[in-house]
Amino acid sequence: MDTTNDTLQADLLVIGFGKGGKAVAKTMGRLGKRVVLVEQSQRMYGGTCPNVGCVPTKALVHHAGQRRESDSAQEWYARSVKEVQTLTALFRRGNYEALNNAETSTVLTGRATFLDPHTVSVDAGGERLLVSAATILINTGAETVIPDTPGLRESKHTLTSTALIETTTLPERLAIVGGGYIGIEFASIYRQFGAHVTLFEASGRILSREDDEAAAVAEAILTGDGIEIIKGAHVSEVRDTAHGASVIYEAGGRRYTLDVDAILAATGRAPATRDLGLEAAGVRTTAHGAVEVDEYLRTSQPHIYALGDVRGGPQHTYLSLDDSRVVLDQLLGQGRRSVSDRVAVPRTLFMTPPLATVGLTEKEARAAGYRVKIASEPVAEIVAMPRAYIVEETRGFMKFVIDADTDKILGAVLLSVDAQELINTVALAIRHDITASELRDAVYNHPTSTEAFNEVLATIVRVDAPQTAGV
């Protein structure tokens, strides 16, 4: 790495070890470019997903599902957390070595702050380093937002999702504030581990952005597993007690108190842009604190890009990976690829069984003016899906929203075993205009979950006219 006047000179500087940034760094390093990647924490090599996000939480989903009623909840949980920590340490070491051991790449552990549009100062354990680069990627991710509820931030029993999965003590009574994806996923995990879980949702229903039927079926599964869901709840105060914490909340016009051992704040994550010194770089941010980018992920400084959660929008690792393709096309290709090219991006909530969706909901399709056909069937009634019975998970349903005029698939919701895999096939079908009939009549191997499409897509339950004003 070149050094001039005590400043590291690089072709590419990446701030943050997230999925998109590390993918660009690896590619540029293989091409012989001088790359510096700065990560503020040695526990975050590789980014959110392998350390505190996708990998550990999905591993906990697996471990929780393996526990038998006769197993000690506390012992099983403690052992599971330690095994997951071993796994994440393996991923972390691999991510670090893959970059730092490359001949032209260097990983610095410390906090980066912009001094000007091309230079950052890195505080690395008391040592101050300067790094200057022709191209800079901001890839710092997002951080948990804890609301200003009196006592919530101050309580020693309030945990973020990161802190909760690192504790080896299973809370006997867990309160979760927030009924979004994170809140529901953790409610499902910790209930299966044996905790008594209460989920507080401020709105009148959970999963308010999802299909109405999907939300209702998901709620029935969660409550059937023993999770208490309190909708329309306003948590007004948290007080620490001698044996835990008291959550004071209002619901249905009445005031209640719930005593718990731990509280998970699952009220959302915000782009991590604090203390980056973006003003010194001339990089603008949005009203919500995200780095402002165009469709090519360029910031207000054309040589500085933002990838992943820090740029705002949906927070998914696979979108961060696609961000890397957009940026690499700018740096090495023809510069045509953009985020607007994305079509039918799937998403999955890893409750048990998982809820996966893509495209338009039934309500959205009607509002958009489509005449729709609906194919829907409960998993327990899908004869062509023996895998659900083989693995003893027949809860859930499948639903497809189809354009009645073209037979193209507009959207789907799959609440079933293997839904996280099945949804990718549906998304691919939508992107390539494969019709519902083609997906219905395709040959799938047996016994699999995919063959459920043969049956479900043959079950057209109704045809709806477009939604009109006043309806």
Give per-residue burial for 109-125: e unless 16+ CB within 10 Å, then b: bbbbbbeebbbbbbeee
d(CA 80, CA 67): 10
DSSP assignments along 231-242, one per residue: ET-EEEEEEEET
Is 2-143+270-341 assigned to CATH 3.40.50.1100?
no
Tell me the pLDDT band of 461, cut-offs 50, 70 and 90.
Answer: low
251-306: pLDDT as tens digits: 999 999 999 999 999 998 999 999 999 999 999 999 989 999 999 999 999 999 99
Local confidence band at 1 (pLDDT 50, 70, 90 cut-offs): low
* Predicted local distance difference test score (pLDDT) of residue 218: 97
The catalytic residue among 62, 234, 432, 446 is 446
Assess whether pLDDT exceeds 90 at residue 238.
Answer: yes
**Each residue of 118-173: pLDDT tens digit?**
999 999 877 899 999 999 999 999 999 999 999 999 999 999 999 999 999 999 99
pLDDT of residue 286: 95
User: Which CATH number does the domain 347-461 belong to among 3.30.390.30, 3.30.56.10, 3.30.9.100, 3.40.50.150?
Assistant: 3.30.390.30
Give the confidence band of 464 by pLDDT, cuts at 50, 70, 90.
low
Q: Is the pLDDT of residue 315 over 50?
A: yes
**Domain ranges for the chain:** 2-143+270-341, 158-267, 347-461
The mean of the pLDDT values for the chain is 94
> Is 118 an active-site residue?
no
Least Cα distance to 399 among 384, 382, 383 occurs for: 382
Does pLDDT of 468 surpass 60?
A: no
Residue 466 has pLDDT above 80, yes or no: no
- Report the pLDDT averaged over residues 164-184: 95
pTM beyond 0.85: the answer is yes
Q: What are 40's two structure tokens?
A: 């503020």
Same topology, domains 158-267 and 347-461? Answer is: no
* 4 pLDDT more than 60: no
Instruction: Assign 52 a pLDDT band (cuts: 50, 70, 90).
Output: confident
Q: Does pLDDT of 191 surpass 70?
A: yes
Whether pLDDT at 69 is above 90? no
| Residue 373 Cα distances to 173, 253, 360, angstroms | 44, 41, 13
What DSSP string runs through 405-459? TT-BEEEEEEESTTHHHHHHHHHHHHHTT-BHHHHHH----SS-STTHHHHHTT-
Q: In the β-sheet with 228-231, what is the strand arrangement from edge to edge?
A: 158-159, 262-265, 173-177, 196-201, 228-231
For 158-267, CATH gives 3.50.50.60
Q: By percentage, how much of the chain surpasses pLDDT 70?
A: 97
CB-side neighbour CA atoms (13 Å) of 205: 14
Q: What is the distance, to the nearest Å, from the Cα of residue 148 to the centroid of all Cα atoms in its chain? A: 24
What gap in Å lies between CA 413 and CA 385, rounded to an integer?
16
Interatomic CA distance for residues 200 and 211, integer angstroms: 20
Closest Cα partner for 247 from 234, 258, 263, 233? 258
pLDDT at 467 over 70: no
CA torsion sign for 203, 207, 213, 219 is negative
pLDDT reading at 117 higher than 50: yes
Q: Could you give the C-alpha distances from 430 to 153, 342, 399, in angstroms and in order?
A: 44, 12, 14
Q: What percentage of the chain exceeds 90 in pLDDT?
A: 89
pLDDT beyond 50 at 469: no
What the block records as the tokens of 175 is: 């309160």
pLDDT of residue 471: 33
User: Which range, of 94-98, 227-231, 278-282, averages the lowest pLDDT?
Assistant: 94-98
Mean pLDDT, residues 298-319 taken together: 95
